[in-house]
């Protein structure tokens, strides 16, 4: 049985091609909560394939929340969001865009294509911890999750 289900931990995924950003995210998230498992991924194409394969064989691997960077090589975050939301087995996973871009056209595009939220990456670790604290309080403690995963 996967660790997140055995211990009732929530599976939080981040897809971001920056190793530094994934390290900072993991560090900040683990400061905020101990009831989560953080899974970071540097390649959006590989993560999408992994999600589709695991979902097809075992729904317990479906993340409770995915953070998606926009600017990535190979498959950018907007294409990843569209692919995620077009998959009937994955479209109910809350997808939060997590980008340095504050361009209105990017924000509007993401919401139009099914993003559950759009967060601009904070410039300090303290601000990241605070932002993740609010996000996790909402998505883990407040919102009722779907039962399909």
Over residues 82-136, the pLDDT tens digits come to: 999 999 989 999 999 999 999 999 999 999 999 999 999 999 999 999 999 999 9
The answer to whether residue 24 is domain-embedded is yes
Evaluate whether residue 115 is within a structural domain. yes
pLDDT for 42-71, tens place per residue?
A: 999 999 999 998 876 666 678 999 999 999
Question: Cα–Cα distance between 148 and 62 in angstroms, integer?
Answer: 9
Q: Per the domain annotation, does 19 fall within a domain?
A: yes
Residue 84 lies inside a defined structural domain of this protein: yes
Q: Specify if 133 maps to a domain.
A: yes
Q: pTM of the entire structure? A: 0.90
- Cα separation, 100 vs 63, whole angstroms: 23
Report yes or no on 128 lying in a domain. Answer: yes
Decide if 95 contacts 44 (C-beta within 8 A): no
List the domain range (segments joined by +) for residue 128. 10-34+44-142
CATH classification of the domain holding 101: 3.40.50.2300
Sheet-wide strand order for 36-41: 36-41, 10-15, 65-68, 95-99, 117-120
Number of domains in the chain: 1
Q: Is residue 148 part of a domain?
A: no
Q: What would the pLDDT profile of 23-49 be if each residue is shown by its tens digit?
A: 999 999 999 999 999 999 999 999 999
Q: Are 131 and 99 in contact (CB under 8 A)?
A: no
Identify the pLDDT of residue 149: 45
Is 4 part of any domain? no
């Amino acid at each position: 049985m996967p660790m997140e289900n055995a211990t009732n931990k929530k599976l939080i995924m981040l897809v971001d091609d920056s190793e530094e950003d994934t390290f900072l995210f993991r560090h900040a998230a683990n400061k905020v909560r101990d009831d989560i498992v953080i899974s970071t991924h540097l390649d959006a194409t590989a993560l999408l394939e992994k999600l589709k394969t695991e979902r097809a064989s075992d729904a317990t691997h479906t993340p409770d929340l995915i953070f998606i960077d926009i600017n990535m090589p190979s498959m950018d975050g907007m294409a990843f969001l569209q692919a995620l939301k077009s998959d009937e087995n994955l479209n109910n996973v809350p997808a939060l865009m997590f980008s340095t871009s504050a361009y209105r056209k990017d924000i509007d595009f993401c919401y139009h294509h099914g993003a559950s939220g759009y967060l601009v990456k904070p410039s300090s670790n303290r601000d990241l911890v605070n932002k993740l604290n609010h996000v996790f309080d909402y998505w883990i403690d407040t919102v009722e999750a779907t039962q399909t995963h």
